[in-house]
Amino acid sequence: MVAGCDGNTVVPVSGRVTLDDQPLENAVVLFEPIGEKNNPGMGSVGRTDADGRFVLRQIQPDRAGAIVGSHRVIIRMAPRPGGSLESAPKDRLSPVKDAEKVREFVVPPGGSTTADFPLVSPAKPPPI
């Protein structure tokens, strides 16, 4: 555990993102702290690997983990190298409802290795 300069405790957080029970590779997972203060603390980010697994890091200061407490979680596809978020491939997440891509997660004081997010595409109507 690490106490930040703002007094917030930072703990290790990792997990897995799946889409329709399959690993979601190359997705960006953003954790934004939710709090009663105007600035509840620095957010954290991770990128999924081929198995859909990610490990969170804060960007400033650069350190592993996320702040203890409630977070809004946003999942989106990562941009291609040298591209912007707008250039990110949307094909894998585009059928998923926006509400499914924005979640909430509470980081416990001891950290978590089970920050898992199973996304589900909407059911397609059967062919007629």
- Note the pLDDT tens digit of each residue in 29-88: 999 999 777 777 899 999 999 999 999 999 888 899 999 999 999 998 877 665 555 555
Q: What is the mean pLDDT of residues 104-121?
A: 94
What mean pLDDT is reported for the chain?
Answer: 81
Q: How far apart are CA 120 and CA 17, in angstroms?
A: 11
Q: Is residue 89 part of a domain?
A: yes
Q: How far apart are CA 15 and CA 47, in angstroms?
A: 10
Q: Go through the chain and tell me how many residues it has.
A: 128
Domain of residue 112, CATH code: 2.60.40.1120
Query: Residue 20: how many CB atoms within 10 A of its CB?
Result: 12
Q: What is the DSSP letter of 86?
A: G
| CB crowding 67-93: b at 16 or more within 10 Å, else e | bbbebebbbebbeeeeeeeeebeeebb
Q: Which domain holds residue 40?
A: 2-117
Q: Is residue 128 part of a domain?
A: no
> pTM (2 decimals)?
0.79
Q: Is residue 74 part of a domain?
A: yes
Number of domains in the chain: 1
Q: Is residue 91 part of a domain?
A: yes
Give me the percent of the chain exceeding a pLDDT of 70.
71
Q: Is residue 126 part of a domain?
A: no
